[in-house]
Amino acid sequence: MSASDAVPAHPAYGVLREVTPFASVLLCDNSGMMELDGTNTYVLRAPGSDECVVVDPGPPKYKHHARRLAELPGVALTLITHRHFDHTGGVKRLHKRTGAPVRARLGEFCRNAEPLRDREVIEVAGLRITVLHTPGHTGDSVSFLVEHEDQRAVLTGDTILGSGTTVLDPSDGGLRDYLNSLNRLIVEGEGAALLPAHGPDHPDLVPVARFYKAHREERIDQIVAALDDMGVSPHEAKPMKVVRRVYSDVDKKLWPAARMSVKAQLEYLREA
Ligand SMILES: [Zn+2]
């Protein structure tokens, strides 16, 4: 086999790349600090099915990406993992081109369909898709457990990424919710592949979810220790001062994001 015959790996722009027998990814070229290599738009279809499901059609203003999705045969449903524009921006165009209903946790993104309910099971494109409400990154974040015969995968949106850590949106995200959601994915994701909305896919979700949880707990411990050193309570602590201590090993460009994270951790500790 020559290198050109090899299966493409992430990041593969402009290629509908198969990641499981029932899921392919089309990576959008909207790379950025928060988007990593870009948004992963997933296309779900059981082998031999005439229908497919598009998950997270990507950002606005990426017409070539939207066109590729609209041209897929049999788009029966669009699903949204959460409200951020790099996931929902393509909704309008795709709905206009395909007429397929759109479903999200928030009604404002739905088209010709009801908002997603926790634990709801959707049978479409020869697949069984279970909706798991996994708030933390945002309040409306959901994950999709997709099952076909004995194979499983979880589309985690931004709740678990293929690399790096998730930023908790200060407007409606939260660390307590987030840790509960990681626990939920550890329980529900047994034997499932991890298909994140940014970064590379992984064959096994649970170890990655456990790593995410351990990483958060480690940061919480570091913050408790830093507050101890600084002699301040979680109520009094200034987030940026904590960032300078705890995130000294992290690129300064990421400090604004780290500050949001620290704010969430301080809130978590205040509630404790
Ligand atoms: Zn997001």
Q: Tell me, what's the pLDDT at 36?
A: 83
CA distance 79 to 205: 20
55: which 2 tokens?
Answer: 């998950």
Q: pTM for this structure?
A: 0.92
Does the pLDDT at position 173 exceed 90? no
Domains and CATH numbers, the chain: 3-271 (3.60.15.10)
Distances (CA, A) of 88 to 29, 57, 119, 168: 15, 6, 22, 18
**Per-residue pLDDT tens for 233-268?**
999 999 999 999 988 888 999 898 888 888 889 999
pLDDT (average), residues 2-28 = 83
Alpha carbon of 201 to ligand 1 centroid (Å): 17
For strands 40-44 and 23-27, give the pairing.
antiparallel
- What letter would DSSP give residue 13? B
Identify the band that residue 5 occupies on the pLDDT scale cut at 50, 70 and 90.
low
Paired with 54 in beta bridges are 43, 78
Q: Is the pLDDT of residue 3 over 80?
A: no
Å from CA of 158 to ligand 1 middle = 5
The mean of the pLDDT values for the chain is 93
Q: Is the pLDDT of residue 126 over 70?
A: yes
Least confident of 2-6, 33-37, 85-89, 107-111: 2-6
Q: How confident is the model at residue 7 (pLDDT cuts 50, 70, 90)?
A: low
**For residue 89, which phi and psi values (nearest 5 degrees)?**
-55, -30
- Asked if pLDDT for residue 75 goes beyond 70, the answer is yes
Distance (angstroms) between ligand 1 centre and the Cα of 52 equals: 23
Q: For residue 249, how far is its CA from the centre of ligand 1 (angstroms)?
A: 24
**What is the chain's length?**
272
Report residue 106: phi and psi, to 5°: -95, 130
Angle at 179 between CA 176 and CA 185, to 5 degrees: 140
CB-CB neighbours of 188 under 10 Å: 18
How far away, in angstroms, is 49 Cα from ligand 1 center? 30
Separation of CA 174 and ligand 1 centre (Å): 13
Q: Is 219 helix (H, G, I), strand (E, B) or coil?
A: helix
> Do the bridges between strand 127-133 and strand 121-124 make them parallel or antiparallel, or are there none, so unpaired?
antiparallel
The alpha carbon of 138 and the centre of ligand 1 are apart by a number of angstroms equal to 7
> Residue 141 Cα, ligand 1 centroid: separation in angstroms?
8
Predicted confidence band of residue 168 (pLDDT cuts 50, 70, 90): confident
- Cα 187 to averaged position of ligand 1 atoms, centre (Å): 23
